[in-house]
Amino acid sequence: MDYFECILRNGLFGFGHNHGIHQSLHTIISSQASQIGTFLDGQAARAAFHTSFTEYASHLVEFLVFNDTMQSDIGRRAGSKMISCEVLVLVCSMLAYDEFDPADADAMDKLVIAAIKHALPLQPATLKVIATRLTEKPGLLERVASSMEGAEIICDLFSVHFVSAVSSISEGWARKLIGLCSVCAGSPICHGVSAEVEKWRALTETIAALVKHRKNCQAPAPQYTHVPANVVVRELNSNDNKPFSAARRRSSVLEHKIPPLPDHVVAMLNGLNLQRPTSRAISVLLGQIHATEIPAVLRAVLPTFPCRPCHDLSQNSKALVEKDKQITRPRTDRGFCSEKVPEEGELFGAKIGLWKVLLSAAALKDIQREMLGGV
């Protein structure tokens, strides 16, 4: 991969400005594209990338743009697609190394955004890996999602089914982004998601309460004793081998009965319009919350980005730590009001952020009144 390393070091135009040379270079690299994803496996290559991270990242983003132009050439489509997928693998492996954490945040964000953008149309399985990495790296998801360039990319990434279907991804993203919204300088006016923030708190408290209740009510492990020496063991006949009927299984004395849910948990379930589980359906309800309720809250929050105050806040790691404390603070009402909170941050029926419009409240009211036919 000498040519690829040369591009990282010097950029595409380190080979001159001849388009024919660039095409030949692309042909060589695409024929060896499978090695791009493992580029950082070597310690020397990893050290060089880390030392000149800003330059390497910038050159790689430029090469991705050039690679896209090669897809217009029918003979180069397969190679271009492979390069896009392998660069995403390279970025995922980079995020797995702790030494890249203190790297230039702006260059890191641009590289992550470009890698996702160019791989998204191809729907590689690596999208699930990069979504997980965004959850694991402190501040990375918040910076990318709140930026002008990354907000739409993050929405598109979560719209990929096999990404949003992973409960750890949707829950991790929701924790970070709803936490960011909750302490945004313009929230709730900026994001208009006060109801979603409260619902998220109620969902997390409900999950914790259900898990605790299930754990406290687990059936004790059966105690077995050795068969006495004087007991005769006979062979089972065909009647003995018949399986228990459903009725016998339900009425079995061995079945462990889970006590009723505490009143405060029932109140939270009612407030969230979730059906109270039967003795053996707590796991089903937890699965429903993770698979349906949390992704729905996150989908309502994602369109409220980009946001300049959130982007400024996400640059400060200490502020993000304080944000986590604020979003997880205990509530005193032990319930959730499902009544829709007025969307003060809406303009003509759509949520807005401070990136999109900077007008006073009076100016917004004048515009809305004029749109409704007022004077």
Q: For residue 347, what is the enclosing H or E element?
A: strand 346-347
**Portion of the chain with pLDDT greater than 90, in percent:** 41
CA proximity to 171, closest of 269, 52, 307, 293: 293
Residue 268 or residue 100, greater confidence: 100
Q: What was the pLDDT predicted at 315? A: 87
Least confident of 44-48, 201-205, 227-231: 227-231
116 and 172, same domain (yes or no): no
> pLDDT for 230-254, tens place per residue?
555 555 565 555 555 555 454 444 4
182 and 275, same domain (yes or no): yes
Q: Report whether pLDDT(216) > 70.
A: yes
Q: Report whether pLDDT(98) > 60.
A: yes
The residues pairing with 351 across neighbouring beta strands, listed in sequence order, are: 346
Q: Which residues of 158-186 are buried (b: 16+ CB within 10 A; e: fewer)?
A: beeeebbebeebbbbbbbbbbbbbbbbeb
Structural domain boundaries, residue 189:
166-217+246-375
How many domains, in total, are found in the chain?
2
Sign of CA dihedral 354, 185, 135, 332: negative
- Residue holding tokens 């003509």? 348
Q: Are 249 and 255 in contact (CB under 8 A)?
A: yes
Q: Report whether pLDDT(275) > 90.
A: no
Q: What was the pLDDT predicted at 354? A: 47
> pLDDT for 121-143, tens place per residue?
999 999 999 999 999 998 999 99
Q: What was the pLDDT predicted at 189? A: 62
Q: What is the mean pLDDT of residues 103-108?
A: 92
Q: What was the pLDDT predicted at 375? A: 46
Contacts of 267 (CB under 8 A, 6+ apart): 334, 335
25 and 93, same domain (yes or no): yes
Average pLDDT of every residue of the chain: 79
Share of the chain residues as helix, strand and coil, in percent rounded to the nearest 5: 65, 0, 35
Q: Does the residue 329 lie in any domain?
A: yes
Q: Does the residue 228 lie in any domain?
A: no
Tokens of 362: 């009076």
Q: Report whether pLDDT(323) > 70.
A: no
Sign of CA dihedral 70, 73, 74, 75: negative
Domain stops at, among 56, 91, 124: 124
67 and 196, same domain (yes or no): no
277 and 369, same domain (yes or no): yes
53 and 172, same domain (yes or no): no
